[in-house]
Chain A
Amino acid sequence: AQKVTQAQTEISVVEKEDVTLDCVYETRDTTYYLFWYKQPPSGELVFLIRRNSFDEQNEISGRYSWNFQKSTSSFNFTITASQVVDSAVYFCALNNAGNMLTFGGGTRLMVKP
C-alpha cells in the first residue's frame, strides 16, 4: 500500500515570505515517481515537477525549489518570495508500479498582499 501525507492543510503567508509545503510518502517499491501539482481556484491540475526515486538531486525552478530526501521519505516544496498568484491548493502525489497516482490531501496556500 502507498500513502502520501501533507500534514499542513492550510498555510497563510504574506506576500514575499518564503513558504515550505511538506510531503511525506510511504511505499514499499524501490522505484517510483513523486509529483507536485498546483490547483488554482479555476480547478485545473497544473504539473509542477516530477522526480524519480533514483534522483535525489534537489531542483530549483525560478522561485520554486524541491528537496527530495529518501532517508526521511519526504519531498518538500519551497516557494521563495511568495506572490498572490501562488495562492492555490498544492498536491503532492506518488506513482509506482500500479501506475495510478496517489495524492496527498493537499495544502491550501493563501498568500496575502
Chain B
Amino acid sequence: AAGVIQSPRHLIKEKRETATLKCYPIPRHDTVYWYQQGPGQDPQFLISFYEKMQSDKGSIPDRFSAQQFSDYHSELNMSSLELGDSALYFCASSSPDRWAPNYGYTFGSGTRLTVV
C-alpha cells in the first residue's frame, strides 16, 4: 500500500540558510499535517492543510511557511534557520471521513534536519 512520502530523508543546513521539506500524502487523503519532533521530545503540531487551504495552526514559527498544492503534496519552507530548528520533521495525512471505519492517520518516515 502507498504510504506518505517525505523528502529528503536527511538535510544539513547552516544557520541562516533556507530549507524546503516535501510531503506526498497517501492518494485520496485530503488533509496534510506537519509535526516537529526535537531530540527526546514528543512530536509537536505545526500546521495542517485541508483541500489546499490551511486548516489549523500550531506552534509554527513565523520563519516557517507551508502550503498544499493542487496535487495535494505539501511543502514546508523554513528560513533563517537556527540551531534550535534541528529536529525530525514529520508529515502525516488523513483520509476524508474521520469517523469512517477505515479512517487513517499515517505518518511519513520523517526528514531529519540538522542545522550547523
Contacts and interface: CB of A to CB of B under 8 A. Distances in A.
A52 interface: yes
Contact of A50 (B33, B48, B103, B107): B103
Most A-side CB within 10 Å, residue of B55, B58, B105, B110:
B105
Interface of B is mostly: strand
Contact of A43 (B31, B55, B88): B88
Given A44-B107, A45-B107, A100 B56 contact: yes
B90 A99 contact: no
Interface in A2-37: 31, 33, 35, 37
A44 B109 contact: yes
Interface residues of B, number: 26
Interface of B: 31, 33, 35, 42-45, 48, 50, 55-56, 58, 88, 90, 92, 94, 98-99, 103, 105-110, 112
A76 to B, nearest CB: 18
Interface of A: 31, 33, 35, 37, 43-45, 47, 50, 52, 91, 95, 98-106
A82 to B, nearest CB: 22
Contact of A101 (B45, B88, B108, B112): B45
A45 B43 contact: yes
